[in-house]
Amino acid sequence: MTYDVPAKLKTIFGYLAYLVKGAEKIPQLKPMHMRIEYEDGVYDGMASMFFVALTNSVGGFETIDPNIVLGDGKFTLFIVKTANIFEILQLLAQVLNGGRHLENSNVLYTHTSFVKAESKDGSRLMINLDGEYGGDAPTTFTNHQQHIKIIGNTSDYADPIEEVDEDILAGAGTGFMKEVETLHPDEVNDKRLPYDGKN
């Protein structure tokens, strides 16, 4: 989804650009049968997307995983098991509201040192690597804990890049959450995934 956001928009609007493009793409989400292997198990079922993250910030969302420990050699893995637009919007509101999405039954959430993902029904599963198209699955992510040492003199760097006004971001997030809270399931097309009895 995020590699469709033009680079200029990402630079100028950052977080807001992802929200706008994401809102445009949500109705196009289609469930597919995925097999995702990770350290503690295997998910083999229907899902609309999965996320593998190294930090608590993904696409401008600062609380995607409030429990992350940097440098522990683990990814955060989220598997979103719904393509229902109402449930996706609820998830986004929960992400914006302090990480409440971690307990949502439509999400499988874990920490793992590796992830192997593939489509099981012949659907194209495109991979997004830090906002850019990264090829199609099957794919494997391996966390090489503290594999690279970085040494630098920070005094050689220019002043920090000016950040977007926090009040603007807070206002955008609050407005989005208010709109989601007014939605009712019968107001949107129901794309609920069939329960496969496995997860």
Q: What is the SS3 assignment for 35? A: strand
User: What is the predicted pLDDT for the residue at 152?
Assistant: 77
Query: In 10 A of CB 32, how many CB atoms?
Result: 18
Nearest CA-CA partner of 91 in 33, 51, 125:
51
Q: Which residues are catalytic?
A: 132
Nearest CA-CA partner of 91 in 1, 172, 183:
183
User: What is the predicted pLDDT for the residue at 93?
Assistant: 83
User: What is the predicted pLDDT for the residue at 39?
Assistant: 96
Task: Going residue by residue through the chain, which has 199 residues, state the pLDDT in tens, using 9 for 90 and above.
Answer: 444 555 655 555 665 666 666 667 777 788 999 999 999 999 999 999 998 998 876 666 667 787 888 889 999 999 999 988 889 888 888 887 777 788 889 999 999 999 999 999 989 999 988 778 899 999 999 999 988 887 877 777 666 655 656 666 666 666 666 666 666 666 555 544 444 444 4
CATH of domain 31-143: 2.60.200.40
Torsion of CA 37, 82, 119, 133, to 10 degrees: -100
Domain edges within the chain: 31-143
User: What is the predicted pLDDT for the residue at 181?
Assistant: 66
User: What is the predicted pLDDT for the residue at 158?
Assistant: 65
| Residue 21: C-alpha distances to residues 121, 133, 157, 183, 196 (Å) | 27, 15, 32, 20, 31
Query: In 10 A of CB 46, how many CB atoms?
Result: 20
